[in-house]
Amino acid sequence: MAIDSSRFEGGCTKARSFTVQLLAGRFFMAFTTIIILSFIGTSYIFGLYSGEIKTTLGYDQATLNLLSFFKDLGANVSVHAGLIMEVAPPWVILSLGAVVNFFGYFMIWLSVTHKILRPPVWLMCLYITIGANSLGFANTGAIVPCIKNFPENRGVVIGILKSYIGLGGAVMAQLYHALYGNDTTADGVILLIAWLPALILLVFAFSVRVLKFAGHRQIKREKKFFSGILYISLVLAGFIMVMIIVQKQVEFSKTGYGRVLGGLISEHLLKYKWPRPACLTAVLFTSCIAHLLIAFNAPYGLYIASIVMAFCFGAEVTYLYSIISELFGLKHYATLYNYGSLAGPLGSYIFSVRVAGHLYDKEGLRQLEALEPTRKHGEELKCNGVKCYQLAYIIIAAATFFTALVSLILVARTRKFYKGDIYKRFQEDDENNVTLRRVGSAKKEEEIN
């Protein structure tokens, strides 16, 4: 029986062409971006191993809060990553993120397991800053190209991608429990977050890139694609939340998916000319209520506030970066994106270290003195009850309320801007860039001929 080799070769050629087109497409690039961000949320699980650092290195709560501040500093201050990306492709940024992630967390693991001499506090702060800075590199190298590839769905894109960073922390926690079981020490999770995110970044680094403008025919396909991703995200978020609740607190059955929905809600409201800064203001006012529920120990307030604050935090991040992209454009978005996160470390230091940490130690010392007149040298301060963080949450609620009032000024100043077609000028810029590239390539061909 003769075999038609031409048909076989034609089928292989079509399959190879389809595979290349799939791997080089913008939708596969978005998929790999989601995978990268699902494993890079290591700064969100600091509480999983902070107790191990505190115990093995003999730190008090104020020192632990100082480490937490430098973790936030490294995760948020990444302007240098944006500046590098102005002149380098995304794979360079992602590769650098893999290097700093492994170095920082591996040195912390060596310190906690006493494989090296106990480092001073400043050196531990440096290690955790370097390790957490991988989040800034991953954010810049993955999210910025994805937003440039889907400019007319930027609100939904930012919302989904940012939600996967938060989900990534839960994913890493579940992987740790699956690999290490009921291991009471947390040094294993430090080693896990040292090598696994670095490996993921290196494997998918070359899959992320900025693609040419595809035209307006792709917009409807993009909306369907991200709607599907949104539903998958909701299911994944629900599954992980149920797993965590079953492991920790079975009685609590209420769950919320607000963190994932922030970008979708604001994108829908834009159709009715609702300014996105108004969504930010509403979220800030809502978070004030959540802080007060915890401060005054309302019945079931902790559970309700946890859901509300999760939604508010995710929505705030989505709205902030979407507003930056809409007001300033995407040309230098890699740098502007990182400038938007500079306020995080400052707020973290003020409210976590100077306010919450100081008030916690003060109340813990008062409780200890009530039981023992003198404190033993090196004795750990432990605080129990609502009073430990009550005043801190009241101060945070007041600061958030003031921020919400300030954001009303931005709403008033951008109201006319959002009443128009906010994406029109960006569409024209993209079309002009495509035209200029075509003209330039045509001139080069004429010169060659």
pTM of the model: 0.73
pLDDT tens, position by position, for the chain (449 residues)? 455 555 556 666 666 666 666 666 778 888 888 889 888 878 778 888 888 888 888 888 778 888 988 888 888 888 889 899 888 999 999 999 999 999 999 999 999 998 988 999 999 999 999 999 999 899 899 888 888 888 777 777 887 787 777 777 777 877 877 777 666 566 788 888 999 999 999 999 988 888 776 655 566 666 677 767 777 766 766 666 666 655 554 333 333 344 456 556 666 666 767 888 898 899 999 999 999 998 888 888 888 888 788 778 778 878 888 888 888 887 888 888 888 777 777 787 788 778 887 888 888 888 777 776 665 655 567 788 888 888 999 999 999 999 999 999 999 998 888 887 666 655 555 555 545 455 455 555 555 55
Sorted by where each begins, the domain ranges of the chain are 22-436
Whether 68 and 87 have beta carbons less than 8 Å apart is answered as no
Q: Which class is domain 22-436? A: mainly alpha
pLDDT at 187: 77
pLDDT at 128: 94
pLDDT at 151: 77
pLDDT at 303: 83
